[in-house]
Chains A and B, each alone.
Chain A
């Protein structure tokens, strides 16, 4: 049995650990709040841009823009949103597992796809697996602003425009609630399912100067905002997931402390009992 001092030390270190995980939980909770607000602030922009794009796409089908056309797929791009730091429970492993399995299933050779990982955990994972990486992005702020994302998004969109890749998917954890997140795959490019997406908007627009010009500025913006939306969603899930992981870590530490305190008290009692027995038996031997 461990000595009294050993147990005492373990209680102390576990208490400190609990303090840290508890603080991390609170930090994550406040970040989650902000991330949710950000995601909410983005909704009106997304809805509006979707509405306009859909009505142009539905309005007339003879406008041709490379981003609206599916072409034979030679190479597929994947944007994978992970976090920079660990301690976020199953957040990263879920998404990486899902991407890995999909890629294994879909592609036979490494020339058929390329990955743009966002977050350190993701890029390290794909590097270790020896998978092709187009560009890795790390060190993103917890509350990213659109200006920061724009570069990433336009890089990916340009890959498609330059025909480096013929399809672009984005993988992220969709924030359902603070305790549920779902790994989601979203096709960003080409934008083929626009027309059927929103048939209720029947308003017809005049286009100034013409539809082609509008699509030229609008579609990259639309694709970029899809990426940004996924990122905000992913960030919210990340903070929620970290909050949950830290909460259960705090709970577990509490449990361990309880157990250790119990055995500490037992050991102390045993020591006292032994001491008394020794004294009594010593006195008995003298008589």
Chain B
């Protein structure tokens, strides 16, 4: 089976480097599935889990604020933050979720604060989901 080299890189250092059979993720324009031999592509990613498949097993990575760069044999995910399930601090994410929800209840929907709180909520939910393995 052909594989893809996947590396996930953040400003605080590389998070993961390994080879997988398939990468699926949600780009801002919709779901993307990438197999080896894909044409070179760049797409911004939504705050979501990236799913990496190999030997029938799936690894999850929580990614926020990043984009994906695809080459025929290599996929690079550049994100401002990315965590493996075991590195996620669930308590912290829960707190962040709580905070974001409180703020959403107070703010008006056209506020910048509202948008920021929404993003924060998405990030927290994403982390919690990934940590629990869906």
Q: Which residues of A contact B (CB under 8 A)?
A: 38, 41-42, 44-45, 48-49, 52, 56, 145-147, 150, 203-209, 213-214, 217-218, 221, 225, 228
Query: Known: A49-B78, A147-B81, A221-B80. Is A205-B12 also a contact (CB below 8 A)?
Result: no
Q: Return chain B residues, CB-CB under 8 Å to A204.
A: 40
B42: interface (CB < 8 Å): yes
The A contact surface, by secondary structure, is helix
* Residues of chain A with a CB closer than 8 A to B85's CB: none
For B41, the closest partner residue in chain A by CB is: A206
Contact B69 A52 (CB under 8 A): yes
Decide if B28 touches A42 in the complex (CB within 8 Å).
Answer: no
The answer to whether A146 and B10 have CB atoms under 8 Å apart is yes
- A218 and B44 contacting across the interface, CB-CB below 8 Å: yes
Q: Which residue of B lies closest to A146 (CB)?
A: B11
How far apart sit A158 and B78, CA to CA, in the bound complex (Å)?
A: 22
A38 partner residues in chain B, CB cutoff 8 A: 12-13
**Please, which residues of chain A bring their CB within 8 A of the CB of B76?**
48
Q: Check B67–A214 contact: CB distance below 8 A.
A: yes
Task: Decide yes or no: A218 and B67 within 8 Å by CB, A203-B40, A208-B43, A209-B29 being known contacts.
Answer: yes
Interface size on B, residues (CB 8 A): 25
Question: Who on chain A is nearest to B71 by CB?
Answer: A203
- Of the candidates A45, A52, A205, A209, the one whose C-beta lies within 8 Å of that of B10 is A45
Against A, the Cβ 8 Å flags (1 = close, 0 = not) of B9-37 are 11111100000000000011100100000
Nearest chain B residue, comparing its CB with the CB of A56: B42
Report B60-92 residues with CB < 8 Å from chain A CB.
Answer: 65, 67, 69, 71, 76, 78, 80-81
Interface residues of B (CB under 8 A from A): 7, 9-14, 27-29, 32, 39-44, 65, 67, 69, 71, 76, 78, 80-81
Out of A45, A221, A228, name the residue touching B65 (CB < 8 Å).
Answer: A221
Q: How far is the CA of A207 from the CA of B42 in the complex (A)?
A: 5
Tell me which residues across on chain B come within 8 A of A145, comparing CB atoms: 12
- B42→A44 contact, CB < 8 A: no
A207 cross-chain contacts in B, Cβ below 8 A: 41-43
CB <8 Å contact, A205 and B42? yes
Residues from chain B with Cβ under 8 Å of A42 in the complex:
11-13
Q: How far is the CB of B81 from chain A (nearest CB, A)?
A: 7
A145 CA to B42 CA, complexed, in Å: 26
From residue B42, how far is it (CB to closest CB) to chain A in Å? Answer: 5
Q: What's the minimum C-beta distance from A185 to chain B, rounded to whole angstroms?
A: 22
Q: How far is the CB of B9 from chain A (nearest CB, A)?
A: 5
User: Please, how many angstroms separate the alpha-carbon atoms of A225 and B9 in the complex?
Assistant: 13
Q: Which residue of B lies closest to A207 (CB)?
A: B42
Closest to B32 in A: A208
Q: Which residue of A lies closest to B66 (CB)?
A: A221
Contacts A150-B80, A208-B27; A52 near B14 (Cβ below 8 A) = no
Contact in complex: A41, B81 (CB < 8 Å): no
A206 CB contact (under 8 Å) in B10, B13, B39, B81: B39
